[in-house]
Amino acid sequence: MSDQSNKAIYESRPWLKFYLEGVPADVEIPQMSVVDDFDESTEKWKDRTALVFYGRKISYKELRDHVDRFATALHDLGVKKGDKVALLLLNSPQFVIAYFGALKAGATLTAISPLYVSPEIKHQIEDSGATTIVCQDILYDNVDRTGVKLDRVVLTGIAEYLPGLKKFMGQSMLRAVYQKMAAPPPDIYEREGFYQLQELIKKYPPNPPKIDFDVKNDLVTLPYTGGTTGLPKGAMMSHYNLIAGRSLASKFWGDVVEEGKEVVLAYLPFYHIYGQAVVMLGSLSQGYTLVIFTTPDLDDILNAMESYKATIFYGVPSLYEYLRDYHRTSRVNWKRLKVLVSGADALLEDTAKGWEKRTGAKIHEGWGMTETSSVGMISPYGKPKVGSFGIPMSNTVGAIVDPEGTKFLPVGEIGELVVKGPQITLGYWKKPEETKKMIVEIDGEKWLRSGDLARMDEEGYFYFYDRKRDMIKYKGLAVFAREVEEVLAAHPQVKEAGVIGVPDTDVGEKVKAIVVLETEARGKVSEEDIVKYASERLAHYKVPKIVEFRGEVPKTDVGKVSRRELREEDL
């Protein structure tokens, strides 16, 4: 079959037959800014609870008031349209207030991981050009050590929005996670350019400036990619990109979910595009209630799920893995939730099957990237296929091409996943050459090269195999690290595993497995036992040649096995 014939199959969108009734192939994307979207929702649902923070409830009306006051303050302090504002904040009402407040002042945001150390923070501030930062007080020391000169530093404490009885617990609650961190002394506010978030909100009236946005070109945010190939890069996300992403996501579930009625648990980090675009922006634009957690404590999540009658749950595979085996998981009626979503990494088949057996509920796996506003594909409602991350959403086309070129491959063949749609980034900030590698033109249309190796079946469901850079070549044969990890993870005595290729002059790369055993198996299961188990389930060339036992494997901020760190450690 010719290249054009293969392309025509993808363009015909065979997956459309799985859309819920009433969900169109293409939806109209509102030509509005994220600021307009926020104003509309906060006006429409002003009396509804927008945020719940460890028992403290904040209505849409109160949230709008605090956002408008903070926007007024930033404007008065000199922040103008196009300025870059960095956020170094834990999940909290302050993140939401600072995010929308900075946008209303005309700024472009860049959210930094609270887990970053000074060199990483320095790179993101300097690369983005941020001149203002809104920072958790206990994290400021890491900013100070960068030596970067900022025009404005706004600090905030975690206790500011906690209910009365929990204010005293706030700092101690965080010390368990950020043990060496301490808030700066009060006299820091005597320094020029230093402010307290709460003082600014009290001081200024809710009169934000009126900013005219070019929705297709003005940037909302510069989320930075994980830096798996060199330093992290900022993806330029416009108002149109993010409005498109939330429009496609909200329409996909049809009548299953209802505006102004859903309750979402928000433990996924807001600085990450999944937590920011899908959980925070997506929920607040629809009038949902967000129950916010600073840390993903299993008991807190399960208690809140029952207390607040959560209806939508966004998770990552590692959390479903933990919950599947957690003794208190059965106390929640998971079938009562309308939608369970897994994203940010591939869901292991063993986890998906074990979860459904334990809870009776199906997980809808999805796929997205920083560069696609975190949305692109998801399992059709009620019809997930184990091993598949689903089908493209409205307005979105997915296809499989030759990883080394742009030739479209036949249905069923493994190649590189490419996508096109309105949610795709404008490119990488100040990196035109990197942008050209990522966004390619095929037959006059722009497609995003995902870097993911995948295939599409006859019905239009897509399946993930590996990242291109994680594929191992053993004597010229392709070994998918994820496939080996999945086999090892199914071993009853294996808690988790990470797989990488180790350079070898004779065979190209040897397969190496880093294995974490269950506590009771340590010292009882040998490297040879793991190799034997793998040999019975994998072709000989995929079987690990090296097995290393560890107490844990390094993870990314959203729970993925960090193969980059494993490779660096091996070197």
Residues 395-406 have pLDDT tens digits of 999 999 999 999
What is the torsional sign of CA 405, 400, 226, 424?
positive
> Is the pTM higher than 0.85?
yes
310-356 confidence digits (pLDDT tens) = 999 999 988 998 899 899 999 999 999 999 999 988 888 888 999 99
Q: How confident is the model at residue 467 (pLDDT cuts 50, 70, 90)?
A: confident
Laid out side by side, the sheet with 108-111 consists of 194-196, 152-156, 132-136, 84-88, 108-111, 219-221, 237-238
Which two three-digit tokens encode residue 179?
């043990």
At residue 566, does pLDDT exceed 70? yes
Whether 494 contacts 488, CB under 8 Å:
yes
Residue 559 in this model has a pLDDT that exceeds 60:
yes
DSSP letters along 196-245, please?
EHHHHHHHS-S--------TTTSEEE-PBP--SSSS--BB-EEHHHHHHH
Give the pLDDT confidence score for residue 172 in this predicted structure: 57
Mean pLDDT within 544-566: 87
Task: Flag whether pLDDT at 168 surpasses 60.
Answer: no
Q: CA–CA separation, 126 vs 110, rounded Å? A: 11
CA distance linking residue 338 with residue 328, whole number of Å: 20
Beta-strand runs (E) in 444-507:
445-456, 462-467, 472-474, 477-479, 494-504
Structure tokens at 48: 């509804």
pLDDT of residue 228: 46
Q: 258 near 358, Cβ under 8 Å?
A: no
Sorted by where each starts, the structural domains of the chain and their CATH numbers stand as 3-30+230-466 (3.40.50.12780), 60-212 (3.40.50.980), 473-570 (3.30.300.30)
pLDDT in tens, 207-261: 999 999 999 999 999 999 865 446 789 999 999 999 999 999 999 999 999 999 9
| Residue 22 in this model has a pLDDT that exceeds 80 | yes
Residues of the chain by 3-state class (helix, strand, coil), percent to 5? 35, 25, 40
